[in-house]
Amino acid sequence: MPSSVDGLPHQLRIRLDPENAARLERPAGLAGVPEATLARSMLSKAIEDADPGASSTTAMLDGIPGAYERAIESLDQAHAGESIALDDL
């Protein structure tokens, strides 16, 4: 598992939409590995191959349906006091 700057592994919880979950199910079954194992491997490879430049990151984020609207909604919730400080988690 990749490690963070402080040397401790990071855990992310990722939810897939039904269509992408179904796409992952078949190759995981063919490989005989749990879907989470295949997903972790695919995500690690994608991160390694990703161009960290600002323009490519912006283009990638622009490709996420509804991301901008969710970001604005999150800002509105934070301004309204509907968020939890990281220190309180």
Show me where the domains of the chain are located: 1-49, 51-89
The identity of residue 86, as a single letter, is L
Residue range 35-85, pLDDT digits in tens: 989 998 998 898 888 877 888 888 888 888 898 899 899 999 999 998 887
Q: 26, exposed or middle or buried, with CB in 10 Å at 0-12, 13-18, 19+?
A: exposed
pLDDT at 38: 92
Q: Of 51, 54, 28, 30, which Cα lies nearest the Cα of 41?
A: 28
pLDDT at 1: 45
Instruction: Tell me if the pTM is above 0.95.
Output: no
